[in-house]
Chains A and B, each alone.
Chain A
């Protein structure tokens, strides 16, 4: 059974810092991996999707990498802003027709 772990569980940093969120998964046979942000009481916003054949994806200040063989992904946030404060979720999909297996998330606070 796939298990997804996110470290750290919580992180608080001053505005402007670059930071890295970590995600690991136990079964490397994944179809793709997706990073989301979740604001309190809200739904999920998709940030980046990495297919199993890809190594990284970038969108603005966000960069996600994938090392499928070692079961790891990182989300890099450059020049953090208070608006980046949210819970960041990592999720993997086993097959193209399957749902997602989520980690518990990293609760991020960016201090102004």
Chain B
């Protein structure tokens, strides 16, 4: 149980374009989804927290207008990197938590490797 699917696993885009990453909970309803990114040799850093039907809460230093998060349903959250630049190249990964799962392990997708050329 608690499977999180993330798509695509890899994406290469040109500078200035936008990229959408999807995170789906396959066998549970994800009331909360978390988005992280990981630069080489660095730890995973929380970018934002999204609750279904509400606006996302962004961590300090993360531009909400650049990283658009939508969590319109209980099984899908999307992260759109707008006007991507080479410095946005990173590993993006989501995790999800369901109702009543506060004491349960957080489960993660397999991540998306974004390369901006």
Contact = CB atoms under 8 A, between A and B. Distances in A.
Interface of A: 4, 31-32, 34, 36, 41-44, 46, 49, 51, 89, 91, 93, 96-105
A101 B49 CA distance: 13
Contacts of B54: none
Interface residues of B, number: 24
Contacts of B113: 41
A43 B93 contact: yes
Contacts of A104: 41-43
Contacts of B95: 44, 99-100
B90 interface: no
A111 to B, nearest CB: 22
A46 B32 contact: no
A91 B110 CA distance: 17
